[in-house]
Amino acid sequence: MAIKVFVPRDTTALAMGAEAVVTSILAEANARDTEVELVRNGSRGLFWLEPMVEIETPSGRVAYGPVTVDDVESLFDADFLQGEQDHPLALGVPEEIPYLARQQRLTFARAGVIDPVSLDDYLTHDGFKGLEKALQASSQTLVDEVKTSGLRGRGGAAFPTGIKWQTVLDCDAEQKYIVCNADEGDSGTFADRMVMEADPYMLIEGMIIAGLAVGADQGYIYLRSEYPVAHQILNEAITNAYDQSYLGDDIRGSGKRFHLEVRLGAEAYICGEETSLLESLEGKRGMVRAKPPLPAIVGLFGKPTVVNNVLSLAAIPYILANGGQAYADYGMGRSRGTLPFQLAGNIKQGGLVELAFGITLRELVESFGNGTWSERPMRAIQVGGPLGAYLPESQWDTPLDYEEFSAIGAVLGHGGVVVFDDTVDMGEQARFAMEFCVAESCGKCTPCRIGAVRGVEVIDRIRSGERPEANAELLNDLCETMIDGSLCAMGGMTPIPVQSVVQHFPDDLIRAADTAGEK
C-alpha cells in the first residue's frame, strides 16, 4: 500500500521550497520502486520548520523539517517513509512539538492536518457540524449563540460580532450580503491566509451560517491579490462545495440558499477598511465612506451587509458546533475565546500561535519565539500591524488583551507580532509609518492625505538635525491632527507607531539629529 506523504501547499512552505521537495521525493520514490501517495496539506504554522514533511505511519503521523531538496536522499536512506526517527531533521509526532502542544487550537485545529480541498477530510474532522445545527435553528437562535460566545471582530476593531449580526438581522430588506474581509494587509499577519490555505471549508461554513443567521443569500470573499495561493485553494474549495450542494439554491436539501464568490482586490491596503472594501467590491476606487450609516444598515450596493474578518467567520463553526459558552470559556475580561497570534519579523521560531487572550507579550516572543532569528538582543516589538505601536522592553509584560493594550496606547489589531533586533533604527521605522500612509491613503480626507506627506518631511528634518526640537513639536501637533481629524483608522492610527517611537525610542530620532549636526 502506498505510504501517505504530506507536503504543505501553504505560501510559506512553497516560498521555502516545498515544490522542489515534492518533485525530489517523487523522483526518489520512483527510483527506489516505492509507492507514495502525496497529500498537499496546509501548514500547521510552524514556519521555521517549513517545508515540514509528514509521513503517515500505522501509529500516527511523524514530521521532518525543514526539508530541502538536498535532504531527500538521506531521509529515504534513514527510512523516513517508515517513520524512522534517526535523522537530524526528525521532529517526532507533530502534535507533541512543544510549540504546538502548548497552544489552544480551536480555529486552527485542522490546519496542516487535512487536505484543504478535500471535503471528506473536512467532514471526518468535525466539519459542517455547526452548519448541521444552524440549518435546524432560527435566525435569532444563531445570532444569540454568537452573542453568547462573546466573539469580537478579529480584523482589528474588536466590535462584538453578535451585535453586528443582530443589526443586519433586524433590517427589513429583500437583499442582504455577507462580505468576508480577506484583505489581510497588515505586515506580520498571516492567520487569514492560513485559514484560507489550510482549512477553507471552515470559512465557507462560517459564511453560510452567517447568511442563515441574518437572512443573506449572497456572500463575497474580498481577497487581496497578494495571496495567489489562497485564491487558488479557495476557488477549488468553493467549486467542491457547490458540487456537494453545501453552496447553491438548496443547501443539503434544506431548501435554504447561499451563494459565494471570491473577488480579488488590487493591492490597496486601505481596502481592508470595511467601507473602502465595499466601494472596491462595487467596482469603484477604494475611497472610505463616512459612517454612519453603518454598513450593517447601508452596506454593499446599499443593502444591509455583514462585513466580518476571516478569523471572525472562521470561529463561527466551532461556536455553533460546541455552543457559544464553550468558546466564551476561553479568554480574559471582555476578550473572550482565542486569538491566533502571528510571530513574525526577526524571530527564530516564527509562526502561528493560537491561544486564549491573556498571555504576556514577553512569554509569547521568548518561550514560543525563542528569541531573534539574528540571535541579537530584541529591541522593539510592533504589535497590530503597520498602524500598531512599537513596544519597548518595559512594556513586554503587558497581557495580550484588547483592553490591556488599549490602556498603554497600543493595539492588538489582527494579532501580528513583529520583532526587531538591536540593529533597528527606530527613527527610520517612524518615518516608514508615515511613508506607508502616503502610499496607501485613499486621499478622501485631508489629515491623512496631506498629513502623511508632511509627516515624512518633518521626520526627515528632525533626522537631519534641522531645528529638531521645534520640528518635534510640529510632529506632535501633526499626529494629534491626524488622530482627531481623519475619517478612518488609516490616518487616525498612523500616528500610533510614530508616537510610540517618539515616546519610547527618542534617542533614535535625536541620535540621528546629533550625528547630522556634527557634519
Q: For residues 54 and 354, what is the distance between their CA atoms, to the nearest angstrom?
A: 21
Q: Are the C-beta atoms of 351 and 122 separated by less than 8 Å?
A: no
Q: For residues 232 and 52, what is the distance between their CA atoms, to the nearest angstrom?
A: 21
Grid cell listed for 101: 502542544
Least distance (Å) between residue 59 CB and another protein: 30
The residue (of 112 and 188) whose beta carbon lies closer to another protein is 188
Least distance (Å) between residue 252 CB and another protein: 26
Least distance (Å) between residue 94 CB and another protein: 17
Least distance (Å) between residue 123 CB and another protein: 28
Q: For residues 141 and 505, what is the distance between their CA atoms, to the nearest angstrom?
A: 50
Helix extents (H) in 225-323: 228-243, 274-281, 310-322
Q: For residues 43 and 230, what is the distance between their CA atoms, to the nearest angstrom?
A: 12
- Which residues, 6+ apart, have CB-to-CB distance to 81 below 8 Å? 3, 5, 29, 34, 36, 55
The residue (of 246 and 420) whose beta carbon lies closer to another protein is 420
Least distance (Å) between residue 134 CB and another protein: 26
Beta pairing class for 331-332 and 177-182: unpaired
Burial class (CB in 10 A: 0-12, 13-18, 19+), 514: exposed
The residue (of 227 and 505) whose beta carbon lies closer to another protein is 227
Least distance (Å) between residue 427 CB and another protein: 13
Least distance (Å) between residue 284 CB and another protein: 6
Grid cell listed for 219: 456572500
The residue (of 151 and 353) whose beta carbon lies closer to another protein is 353
Per residue, what are the HEC states of 180-216? EEECCCCCCCCHHHHHHHHCHHHHHHHHHHHHHHHCC
Helix extents (H) in 341-382: 361-363
Place of cell 525530489: 24
Per residue, what are the HEC states of 492-505? HHCHHHHHHHHHHC
Least distance (Å) between residue 439 CB and another protein: 7
The residue (of 237 and 433) whose beta carbon lies closer to another protein is 433
Q: How far is CA 274 from the centre of its chain?
A: 16
The residue (of 159 and 432) whose beta carbon lies closer to another protein is 432
The Cβ of residue 284 has, within 10 Å, a number of other Cβ atoms equal to 10
Grid cell listed for 104: 489552544
Binding residues (CB under 8 A) for another protein: these are: 11-12, 14-16, 47-48, 50, 184-190, 193, 225-229, 263-269, 280-286, 301, 342-347, 350-351, 373-374, 382, 386, 416, 418-421, 424, 429, 432, 436, 439-440, 442
Q: How far is CA 245 from the centre of its chain?
A: 28
DSSP state of 268: -
Q: For residues 339 and 153, what is the distance between their CA atoms, to the nearest angstrom?
A: 11
The residue (of 83 and 200) whose beta carbon lies closer to another protein is 200
Least distance (Å) between residue 264 CB and another protein: 6
Least distance (Å) between residue 107 CB and another protein: 17
Least distance (Å) between residue 315 CB and another protein: 20
Q: For residues 371 and 350, what is the distance between their CA atoms, to the nearest angstrom?
A: 10
Q: For residues 109 and 124, what is the distance between their CA atoms, to the nearest angstrom?
A: 13
User: 178 has which bridge partners?
Assistant: 219, 306
Grid cell listed for 57: 505511519
The residue (of 143 and 203) whose beta carbon lies closer to another protein is 203
The residue (of 28 and 50) whose beta carbon lies closer to another protein is 50
Q: How far is CA 200 from the centre of its chain?
A: 14
The residue (of 40 and 193) whose beta carbon lies closer to another protein is 193
Q: For residues 19 and 29, what is the distance between their CA atoms, to the nearest angstrom?
A: 15
Q: Are the C-beta atoms of 42 and 9 separated by less than 8 Å?
A: yes
The residue (of 287 and 328) whose beta carbon lies closer to another protein is 287
Q: Are the C-beta atoms of 431 and 460 separated by less than 8 Å?
A: yes
The residue (of 266 and 470) whose beta carbon lies closer to another protein is 266
The residue (of 202 and 378) whose beta carbon lies closer to another protein is 378
